[in-house]
């Protein structure tokens, strides 16, 4: 039977290391803040718009649009053929599974147990049937998939680019006291992620972290984004390390004019 490694190792070049928080790296999403700031403007804005944001955000990889990981994260949901969607869903599942198994202690932080519930962020558009990310989660081994729970649905307030809201999502189950791991495939501004986290925590849950497969970086946006992308791409990606580990910190200051 194919393993997580079998579905991810051939594609390591499509992943990009996520640098640990520090100068030039946002302390929340690990994107690029403005020079001299600890947080990027997206995190500052979206976290202010909700009551209970999540502060431990753990991307698996950075990615650029267009690019190979971008194609995977787009086409596992919207690929033209069932064969293509299935192939990319296997890679998405293996990426999540390999990362969670290898870094659950880092992700959970000081928690004795990693999490009680694994909750995916609902799609921003209407979909028929099970969300593709939940289908990927259902491919994972029992210890992981058995904690998956569909407790969120879209709320009465639309969530959009840099627009977060406590009512962006509603909680359909009792999550009181539960330790929740929030999982999404893509992070651009964090509006959906922060809206989902706040809804869960206002309902009594405790979001221990939010794990996202891909954190979008657009080097053309700013010299800070370009410098972060160059620094990340100069390193070799490995599933053995994550952005919460500081064994290989960035080398500040980044050369913003290179």
Q: 63 φ, ψ to 5°? A: -155, 155
pTM higher than the cut 0.75: yes
CB neighbourhood size of 201 (10 A): 20
The CA distance from 62 to 31, in Å, is: 8
Q: Which class would CATH give 4-233? A: alpha beta
The CA distance from 42 to 31, in Å, is: 9
> Which candidate, 74, 58, 99, 64, places its Cα nearest to that of 207?
58
Question: Can you give the pLDDT of all 258 residues of the chain as single tens digits?
Answer: 779 999 999 999 999 999 999 999 999 999 999 999 999 999 999 999 999 999 999 999 999 999 999 999 999 999 999 999 999 999 999 999 999 999 998 898 866 678 999 999 998 766 667 899 999 999 999 989 999 999 999 999 999 999 999 999 999 999 999 999 999 999 999 999 999 999 999 999 999 999 999 999 999 999 999 999 999 999 999 999 999 986 444 444 344 444
Parse the chain into domains and list their residue ranges.
Answer: 4-233
Question: What is the 3-state secondary structure of 59-83?
Answer: EEEEECCCCHHHHHHHHHHHCCCHH
The CA distance from 120 to 105, in Å, is: 20
């Amino acid at each position: 039977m194919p393993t997580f490694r079998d579905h991810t190792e051939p594609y390591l070049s499509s992943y990009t290391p996520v640098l640990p928080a520090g100068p030039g790296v946002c302390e929340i999403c690990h994107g690029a803040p403005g020079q001299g700031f600890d947080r990027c403007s997206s995190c500052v804005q979206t976290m202010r718009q909700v009551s209970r944001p999540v502060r431990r955000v753990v991307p698996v990889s950075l990615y650029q649009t267009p690019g190979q990981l971008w194609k995977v994260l787009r086409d596992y949901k919207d690929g033209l053929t069932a064969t293509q969607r299935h192939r990319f869903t296997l890679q998405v599942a293996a990426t999540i599974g390999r990362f969670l198994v290898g870094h659950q202690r880092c992700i959970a932080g000081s928690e004795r147990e990693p999490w009680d519930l694994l909750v995916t962020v609902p799609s921003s558009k209407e979909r028929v049937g099970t969300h593709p990310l939940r289908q990927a989660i259902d491919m994972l081994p029992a210890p992981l998939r058995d904690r998956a729970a569909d407790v969120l649905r879209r709320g009465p307030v639309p969530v959009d680019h840099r627009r977060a809201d406590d009512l962006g999502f509603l909680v359909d189950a009792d999550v009181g006291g539960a330790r929740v791991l929030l999982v999404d495939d893509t992070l651009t501004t964090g509006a959906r992620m922060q809206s989902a986290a706040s809804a869960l925590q206002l309902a009594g849950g405790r979001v221990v972290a939010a794990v996202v497969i891909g954190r979008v970086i657009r080097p053309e946006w700013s010299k800070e984004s370009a410098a972060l992308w160059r620094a990340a791409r100069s390193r070799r990606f490995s599933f053995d390390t994550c952005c919460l580990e500081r064994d290989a910190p960035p080398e500040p200051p980044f050369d913003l004019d290179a």
